Amino acid sequence: NKKNYILAIESSCDDTSAAVLCNTKVLSNVVATQEIHKQYGGVVPELASRAHQQNIVPVVHQALAKANIDKKQLSAIAFTRGPGLMGSLLVGASFAKSLSLGLNIPLIEVNHMEAHILAHFIDDESMTAPEFPFLGMTISGGHTQIVKVSNYFDMEVLGETLDDAVGEAFDKSAKLMGLPYPGGPLVDKNAQLGNPRAFDFPKPKVDGLNFSFSGLKTSILYFLQRETKKNPDFIVENINDICASVQYTILEILMDKLKLAVKQTGIQQVAIGGGVAANSGIRARLKEAEETLGWKTYIPKFQYCTDNAAMIGIVGYLKFLEGQFTDQSIGAKARYAI
């Protein structure tokens, strides 16, 4: 069995990441998270691309060093072509193109959303690969999609968000409660100490398998305004219950759509990915669905859920096997459908 070494680059949003894979095994996966955005309460695109520009070379050097691989041993270079922030994508794309030219090795373009799903095929003792066909649900700060996965490169988007992504719903709700960015993990932490049924928030009425989260944010805003008028300390005094109730509503929305997707397709294998897959509530709900609904569920290791280059590398390897290479005329794509 030949050893192919793939260098992968991910720079679609605010994490600069490089990974080296040997076939399906991850030898290194370095992520430089940009702290600069914290003070603005969200990602500032211009600052993100500047930080990528500074981080990309050291991050790639670290990835090669950790993998103990010389760049001359590389078989191919894979990079995120999109979707994402244009200024961020361009840094990774330009770097990958230059390196492929310099080393005279094949260049492979990767769709970030496909990568979130195919991350399940990374060879790791703590993970099992789902069998085809399965339902993939990608939930993060930038995306919310349910995808029917018939094969590695045979995917169909069954539904997606019409406005905010689910991670944004977590982060924006957290911001309304005065929690720092990104608030998702803090909502999760507080929710574990609160009552999920303390407060009721309406679920949006969206047909089919699409999602909407912007209405939830508005109803939380009005609710908090109303309650703090009566009691200025309402948020501080009830933070755990508010977080638990917000999270409960978001999880209900996700689980309702997943159940509908299972019903419509007859597929009971469900694999999730994206930063929100780290949420303890969604993990518990999926485990529960294994027992009560007979589903088989898959959640990747945390470092392969959030934005990372290892997931770009596994897609790179799968495309490498099929000879799916691209030439130097390739550009980045801010909007790039599966």
Neighbours of 304 (CB within 10 A): 24
Between CA 13 and CA 10 the distance in angstroms is 9
10 binds, among Zn ion, ligand KG4, none (CB under 5 to 8 A by kind): none
Restricting to residues 186-225, name those near Zn ion by CB under 5 A.
Answer: none
Between CA 204 and CA 8 the distance in angstroms is 38
| Torsion of Cα atoms, 37 then 114 then 75 then 300, to 10° | 80
Task: Report which residue type is found at 96.
Answer: A
Contact pattern from residue 149 through residue 188 relative to ligand KG4, giving x for each residue in contact according to CB under 6 A and a dash for the rest: ------------------x--xx----------x-xx--x
* Closest distance to Zn ion from the beta carbon of 169 (Å): 15
* Closest distance to ligand KG4 from the beta carbon of 7 (Å): 21
Restricting to residues 185-204, name those near ligand KG4 by CB under 6 A.
Answer: 185, 188
Residue whose C-alpha is closest to residue 235's, from 33, 50, 227, 182: 227
Q: How many helices (H) and strands (E) are present in the chain, helices listed first?
A: 10, 10
Options 216-224, 259-267, 270-278, 325-333: segment touching ligand KG4 (CB under 6 A): 270-278
- Nearer residue to ligand KG4 within complex by CB, 34 or 140: 140
Restricting to residues 306-325, name those near ligand KG4 by CB under 6 A.
Answer: 306-307
Based on the shown chain and the rule CB under 5 A, indicate whether residue 160 belongs to the binding site for Zn ion.
no
Known binding residue 188? Answer is yes
Based on the shown chain and the rule CB under 6 A, indicate whether residue 106 belongs to the binding site for ligand KG4.
no
Based on the shown chain and the rule CB under 5 A, indicate whether residue 14 belongs to the binding site for Zn ion.
no
Residue whose C-alpha is closest to residue 17's, from 76, 95, 70: 95
| Torsion of Cα atoms, 303 then 25 then 20 then 84, to 10° | -50
Known binding residue 141? Answer is yes
Known binding residue 200? Answer is no
Angle, helices 184-191/280-293, rounded to nearest 10 degrees:
60
Q: How would you class 253 by CB atoms within 10 Å of its CB: exposed for 0-12, middle for 13-18, buried for 19 or more?
A: buried
Q: For the stretch 287-296, what's the b/e string if a residue is b when 16 or more beta carbons lie within 10 angstroms of its beta carbon?
A: eebeeeeebb
Options 97-105, 258-266, 274-282, 292-300: segment touching ligand KG4 (CB under 6 A): 274-282
Options 54-62, 138-146, 156-164, 182-190: segment touching Zn ion (CB under 5 A): 138-146
Restricting to residues 296-325, name those near Zn ion by CB under 5 A.
Answer: 307
Task: Report which residue type is found at 68.
Answer: N
Cβ atoms of 307 and 278 within 8 Å: the answer is no
* Closest distance to ligand KG4 from the beta carbon of 276 (Å): 4
Options 98-106, 133-141, 225-233, 246-254: segment touching Zn ion (CB under 5 A): 133-141
Phi first, then psi, for residue 125 (nearest 5°) are -65, -20
Restricting to residues 7-66, name those near ligand KG4 by CB under 6 A.
Answer: 13
Restricting to residues 125-144, name those near ligand KG4 by CB under 6 A.
Answer: 140-142
Between CA 101 and CA 71 the distance in angstroms is 13
Which residues line the annotated binding site for substrate?
A: 138-142, 171, 184, 188, 279
Q: Which residues are annotated as a binding site for Fe cation?
A: 112, 116, 307
Per CB under 5 A, residues contacting Zn ion are 140, 307
Binding site for ligand KG4 (CB under 6 A): 13, 140-142, 167, 170-171, 182, 184-185, 188, 274-276, 278-279, 306-307
